[in-house]
Structure 1
Amino acid sequence: MAKPTPDRLRLLSANIQAGSSTRAYRDYVTRSWSHVLPNGKRINLDSLAELAANYDLVGLQESDPGSLRSGFTNQADYLAERARFPFWSHQPNRRISRIAGSGNALLSRIQPDEMLDYALPGRIAGRGVLLANFGEGKDRWTLAITHLSLGAKSRQLQIGFLAELLSDAPRLVLMGDFNCDFDAPEMRPLYRETALEPPPERVCTFPSWAPQRCLDHVLTGGFEVLDYKAVPAAGSDHMAVGVELLPK
């Protein structure tokens, strides 16, 4: 199990696809049952826990808070226990009866001073941002975890909301599945109105078996990025993004 160091932070952002396994486009059809049944997900979650154990903070997207497809298990809670994270929080954003649920989550070895969650605007409800504040005074920093919409118009609304929400934070991290590249036109308000900067390199994360699209990012402000890479996330159709940060 990794332990946090006082000067460096190891962060992971992962769309875990609710623990499902997708290794080719045909699996969206042939394994469609995995979207409603829990079979096979525990093995993937255990692999994700092994990966998460190497990091200080982990932001999850598409984490099931407890429904039929997860065996009525809160996946963030399960991962926190398996990877021995003392602190965790979950933001459920979308639920389809008792069949499926989805949301953002945080696993942390550092105790947050404050946890907040917000619904994001959009043409279809069900997106949000989970926000954690750490430290005090000059050491204070903010971590936000989100999963943006597929449509560009909804992303524009959501990014505008995020830019206003994070505009006063001098040191911050925004991570998640943005469903667009970091230099897409709708992303510009984040760089113009907040301390956030684009990642140091373009890392493609989707589909995980042959990454061609750069959809998952960790944006930072007030940190030096020491390492930035894509990491396989068990059977998810997205690669995770792992970073190592040094406060400026």
Structure 2
Amino acid sequence: MAASVPLRVASYNIHGCVGTDGCFDPARVQRLIDRIDADILALQEVETDHHGDDVLGCYRQSPDWQVISGPTLLREQGQYGNALITRLPVLDYHLIDLSVGGFEARSAIRAVLGYPGCRLEVMATHLGLSPAERREQVRTLLGVLQTGTGEVDASILLGDFNEWFLWGRPLRWLHRHFGSRGATPATFPSRYPLFRLDRIWVSPPARLTGVRTLRTSRARRASDHLPVIGEVHI
């Protein structure tokens, strides 16, 4: 991959492959993932084995993709949580525990990816529903981002941040760190998007352009969130 070509990055909460029509349809989600055609894709609410169906299975078997699972819950039918799939080589990765006592377990995936002439830090996450929970989780994420400064050439943070309040402290802290407002269109609910829950930040911020959602009729049915997509110029 030539370094002059922008990377396409995306985040998509797939809602366990259960669409707004109530149908469980992993194949439909896979078709949307293929349509997004991202070089780096963060997924949330992923069930890695649902009665024998694994939405990530075809990507795990493909030599073109690297798949990192970040389960937060272990259920009888399989694991549930985050995932990161990428066409770039994975140099290193680890999971960051974002769980806050009394709330659902949460985590983030931090990966270092190889790109011609540089190293990219990618963090993919799904934050909690409580404002207090999100404040604690963003503090943890910012601590990790600040620690990694100097080890990488660019940082990308993306996922479902569940932040309904545009001027809430978690968003303000993230805007301040990245030097950007993390521009994104509304992604939730997918049929009539009103809220900017799914976001992409890049440092340096000028490298992120063309942020948009995939607003096809299939995307509106496949999940209660729309995918958010951006171009990153390295």
Is the pair's TM-score, using the shorter chain for normalization, greater than 0.5? yes
**Aligned residue number for residue 209 of structure 2:** 226
Q: CA deviation at 1:112?
A: 1.4
Q: CA deviation at 1:5?
A: 4.0
The amino acid that maps onto 2:81 is: G
The amino acid that maps onto 1:231 is: L
Native 8 Å contact 2:71 2:81 kept in 1: yes
**Aligned residue number for residue 227 of structure 2:** 240
The amino acid that maps onto 1:222 is: P
Of residues 157-166 and 231-240 in structure 1, the stretch that sits farther from structure 2 once superposed is 231-240
Native 8 Å contact 1:64 1:103 kept in 2: yes
Cα displacement string for residues 52-105 of structure 1 (whole angstroms, at most 9, x for unaligned residues): 4x2211111111122xxx2233322334557x7421111111133x14642111
- Calculate percent identity across the aligned residue pairs: 23
Structure 1 SS opposite 2:90: coil
The amino acid that maps onto 1:173 is: I
Structure 1 SS opposite 2:46: coil
Structure 2 SS opposite 1:204: coil
Native 8 Å contact 1:196 1:220 kept in 2: no
The amino acid that maps onto 1:61 is: Q
**Aligned residue number for residue 12 of structure 1:** 10
**Aligned residue number for residue 37 of structure 1:** none
Distance in structure 1 (CA, Å) of the matches to 2:115 and 2:41: 21
**Aligned residue number for residue 129 of structure 1:** 108
**1:1-248 aligned within 5 A:** 4-7=1-4, 8-23=6-21, 31=22, 40-52=24-36, 54-66=37-49, 70-81=50-61, 85-96=64-75, 98-99=76-77, 101-122=79-100, 123-135=102-114, 139-167=118-146, 168-169=148-149, 171-181=154-164, 183-192=167-176, 194-195=177-178, 197-200=180-183, 202-223=184-205, 224-232=207-215, 233=219, 235-247=222-234
Distance in structure 2 (CA, Å) of the matches to 1:153 and 1:94: 21
* Large movers: runs of 4+ above 6 Å: none
Native 8 Å contact 1:87 1:110 kept in 2: yes
The amino acid that maps onto 1:76 is: L
Distance in structure 1 (CA, Å) of the matches to 2:68 and 2:59: 11
The amino acid that maps onto 2:233 is: L
Native 8 Å contact 2:95 2:109 kept in 1: yes
The amino acid that maps onto 1:197 is: S
Structure 2 SS opposite 1:174: strand
Distance in structure 1 (CA, Å) of the matches to 2:34 and 2:143: 36
Cα displacement string for residues 179-205 of structure 1 (whole angstroms, at most 9, x for unaligned residues): 01564322233334x4463223x4100
Unaligned runs of 5+ in 2: none
Native 8 Å contact 1:16 1:238 kept in 2: yes
Distance in structure 2 (CA, Å) of the matches to 1:49 and 1:43: 10
Native 8 Å contact 1:198 1:220 kept in 2: no
Unaligned runs of 5+ in 1: 24-30, 35-39
Native 8 Å contact 2:112 2:122 kept in 1: yes
Native 8 Å contact 2:59 2:67 kept in 1: no
